[in-house]
Structure 1
Amino acid sequence: MPFKGFRTVFYNPSSNSSNTTAASSSPSSVSSSRPASTPPHNLSESMMDKNVEQAKSIITKWDPHATTFAKVTSLFYESRSEAQQFLKSVKDLQNAMHFFSSHNSSHKLVHAQNLMQIAMKRLEKEFYQILSSNRDHLDPESVSARSSTSGYEDDAGSNDEIQLAGESINEVELFSTLAMSDLRSIADCMISCGYGKECIKIYKNMRKSIVDEALYKLGIERLTSSQIRKMDWDILELKIKGWVNAVKIAVKSLFHGERIVCDNVFTSSEFIRESCYLEITKEGAIHLFQFPETVTKYHKSPEKIFRMLDLYDAISGLWPEIDSIFSFESISIVRSQALDSLIKLGDTIWTMLSDFESAIQKDSSKSPVPGGVLHPLTRYVMNYLSFLTDYSVILSDILVDWRLPENSSLPESYFESPNPNDHPPSALTIRLAWIVLILLCKLDGKATLYKDPALAYLFLTNNLQYVIEKVHTSNLRYLLGDNWISKHKTTVKQHAASYERIGWSKVLSAIPEDPTATTMSAVEAKECFNNFKSVFDRVYRTQSSWIVTDRKLREQIKKSIAKKLLPAYRAFYIKYRTTLRTENDKESILRFGPDDLGNYLSGLFNGTGASGSGSSSAASSSPAQSRGKHSRR
Structure 2
Amino acid sequence: MAFPRSPDSSMSSYASTLTLSSCPSSYISIGSSNPSSFTAVAIIPTGAGDHSPALAATGAPEFIQGNKLQQHQDPPESEPKFPKQEINGWEHPDLCSPSKQLKNVTTSIKEISRWARSSPGVKVNSNIRLLESVFSLIQVVTSTAPHPDHIVDMIRVHDALANLLLVLPKNIFPFLVQDFAQIVDELGPKRGASLSARFEKTLHDLRRSIRSGLQVLNVKIFDYTSEVVPQGGGIHEITKYLLKYILSLLDNGRSLKIILVGDEQDGMVEMETLQDAVATLISHLEIMLEKESHRYQDAGLKQMFMVNNVNFVLHQVEGSEIKYLLGEDWVLKHRNQLKDHISSFINISWESVMYCFHVKTNKISIFSSLPTLQIFNLEFEKTYWTQKTWKVENPLLRSNMRKSVSEKLVQAYSTYLENHKNKAPKLMKYTPEDLEELLSDLFEG
The normalised TM-score by structure 1 is 0.49
Q: Distance in 1 between matches of 2:398 and 2:98?
A: 43
- Alignment check: 8 A CA contact 2:310 2:338 kept: yes
Identify the residue that residue 604 of structure 1 maps to in structure 2: 442
Offset from partner CA, 1:230-263 (integer Å, 9 cap, x none): xxx999821321332232222232x44453x48x
Match of 1:369 in 2: 230
- The amino acid of 2:42's aligned partner reads R
Larger-gyration structure (1/2): 1
- After superposition, the Cα gap between the structure-2 partners of 1:256 and 1:389, relative to the gap in structure 1 and judged at 3 Å, is closer
Aligned to 2:382: 538
- Residues 512 and 596 (structure 1 numbering): CA distance in 2 closer, same or farther, change over 3 Å? same
CA distance in 1, matches of 2:431, 2:214: 57
Bigger shift: residues 369-378 or 288-297: 288-297
In structure 2, what residue type is equivalent to 1:308?
M
**Which residues of 2 match residues 134-213 of structure 1 at below 5 A?**
211=35, 213=37
Query: Contact 2:148/2:213 (CA < 8 Å) preserved in 1?
Result: yes
Q: 2:243 touches 2:313 (CA, 8 Å); kept in 1?
A: yes
Given the superposition, is the C-alpha separation of residues 549 and 221 from structure 1 closer, same or farther in structure 2, using an over 3 Å criterion?
farther
CA–CA distance in structure 2, aligned partners of residues 537 and 504 of structure 1: 11
Q: 1:238 to 1:314 in 2, by over 3 A?
A: same
Give 2:174's aligned residue: 327
Say whether 1:460 aligns with 2:306: yes
**Structure 1 pair 285/399, CA: closer, same or farther in 2 (3 Å)?**
closer
Q: In structure 1, give the amino acid aligned to 2:238.
A: L
Does residue 450 of the first structure (1) align with residue 312 of the second (2)? Answer: no
The residue type paired with residue 311 of structure 2 is Q
Aligned equivalent of 1:474: 320
Distance in 1 (alpha carbons) for counterparts of 2:194 and 2:242? 40
Contact residue 309 and residue 349 of structure 1 kept, 8 A: yes
Distance in 2, matches of 1:425 and 1:458, equals 37
Match of 2:99 in 1: 237
- Answer whether contact 2:260 2:272 (CA < 8 A) is retained: no
Give the corresponding residue for 1:612: none
CA distance in 2, matches of 1:429, 1:228: 39
* Counterpart for residue 110 of structure 2: 248
Shift in alpha-carbon separation, 1:572–1:281, aligned structure 2, 3 A: closer
For structure 2, which runs of at least 5 residues remain unmatched after alignment? Answer: 1-30, 46-50, 55-92, 181-188, 264-269, 360-367
Q: Is the 2:234–2:393 Cα contact (8 Å) retained in structure 1? A: yes
- Kindly indicate whether the alpha-carbon contact (under 8 Å) linking 1:224 and 1:294 is maintained by their aligned counterparts in 2: no
Which amino acid is 1:351 matched to? S
| 1:557 maps to which of 375, 379, 401 | 401
Structure 1 CA distance for aligned equivalents of residues 126 and 112 of structure 2: 13
Deviations 1:48-81 (A, max 9, x none): xxxxxxxxxxxxxxxxxxxxxxxxxxxxxxxxxx
- Superposed, 1:112-131 pairs within 5 Å as none
Change (3 A) 1:605 1:569: same
1:303-352 per-position Cα deviation (integer Å, ceiling 9, x unaligned): 22221122111112232112443233443444433322211111211221
Q: 1:489 to 1:401 in 2, by over 3 A?
A: farther
CA distance in 1, matches of 2:157, 2:256: 13
CA distance in structure 2 between the partners assigned to 1:237 and 1:500 by the alignment: 46
Alignment counterpart, residue 304 of structure 1, candidates 138, 141, 150:
150
Matched, 1:570 2:414: yes
Displacement of 1:561? 1.3
Give the whole-Å Cα distance in 1 for the aligned partners of 2:397 and 2:260.
36
SS at match of 1:227: coil
State the TM-score, normalizing by the size of structure 2. 0.68
Q: What is the alpha-carbon distance in structure 1 between the residues aligned to residue 357 and residue 228 of structure 2?
A: 36
Compare the two structures and name the one with the higher helix fraction. 1
Name the CA distance, whole Å, in 2 between partners of 1:285 and 1:324: 17
Residues 275 and 326 of structure 2 are in contact (CA less than 8 Å); yes or no, is this contact kept in structure 1?
A: yes
Shift in Å, 1:295? 3.7
Paired residue for 1:592? 430
**Residue 234 of structure 2 contacts residue 308 of structure 2 at CA under 8 Å; is this kept in 1?**
yes
State yes or no: 1:395 paired with 2:256.
Answer: yes
Alignment of 1:42-441 (within 5 A): 211=35, 213=37, 215-216=38-39, 221-224=41-44, 226-227=51-52, 237-253=99-115, 255-259=116-120, 261=121, 278-279=124-125, 281-297=127-143, 300-325=146-171, 326-328=173-175, 329=180, 330=189, 331-401=192-262, 427-441=273-287
Distance 1:456 1:228, change over 3 A: farther
Shift of 1:499: 0.9
Task: Report if the CA contact (8 A) 1:573-1:593 is conserved.
Answer: no
Counterpart CA distance in 1 for 2:212 and 2:400 is: 42
2:253 corresponds to which letter in structure 1?
S
Tell me the number of residue pairs that the alignment of Structure 1 and Structure 2 aligns.
341
**CA RMSD across the alignment:** 3.3
Deviation at 1:367, TM superposition (A): 3.3
Cα deviation for residue 371 of structure 1 reads 1.0
Once residues 337 and 257 of structure 1 are traced to their aligned partners in structure 2, the CA distance between those partners, rounded to angstroms, is 25
Q: How far apart in 2 are the matches of 1:257 and 1:434?
A: 43
Shift of 1:598: 0.7
Distance 2:101 2:218 in 1: 28
Percent identity at matched positions?
Answer: 24
Task: Return the alpha-carbon distance in structure 2 between the equivalents of residues 301 and 535 of structure 1.
Answer: 51
Measured in 1, the distance between the counterparts of 2:98 and 2:307 equals 40
1:441 to partner: Cα distance: 1.0
| CA pair 382-462 structure 1, distance change in 2 beyond 3 A | same
AA at the equivalent of 2:432: P
SS in 1 for 2:225: coil
TM-fit CA distance, 1:287: 3.3
Contact 2:308–2:393 (Cα < 8 Å) also in 1: yes
Distance change >3 Å, CA 281–CA 318, structure 1 → 2? closer
Q: Is the 8 A contact 2:152 2:249 kept in 1?
A: yes
Query: In the alignment, does 2:375 pair up with 1:511?
Result: no
> Structure 2 vs 1, CA of residues 388 and 279 (structure 1 numbering), >3 Å: closer, same or farther?
closer
Deviation at 1:597, TM superposition (A): 0.5
Give the residue type in structure 2 aligned to 1:535: E
Distance 1:401 1:343, change over 3 A: closer
**Alpha-carbon separation, structure 1, partners of 2:114 and 2:321:** 30
C-alpha distance in 2, partners of 1:471/1:224?
47
> 1:593 and 1:240, CA in 2 relative to 1: closer, same or farther beyond 3 A?
same
Q: Is the 8 A contact 1:212 1:284 kept in 2?
A: no
Q: How far apart, in 1, do the equivalents of 2:36 and 2:299 lie? A: 68
Change (3 A) 1:538 1:236: closer
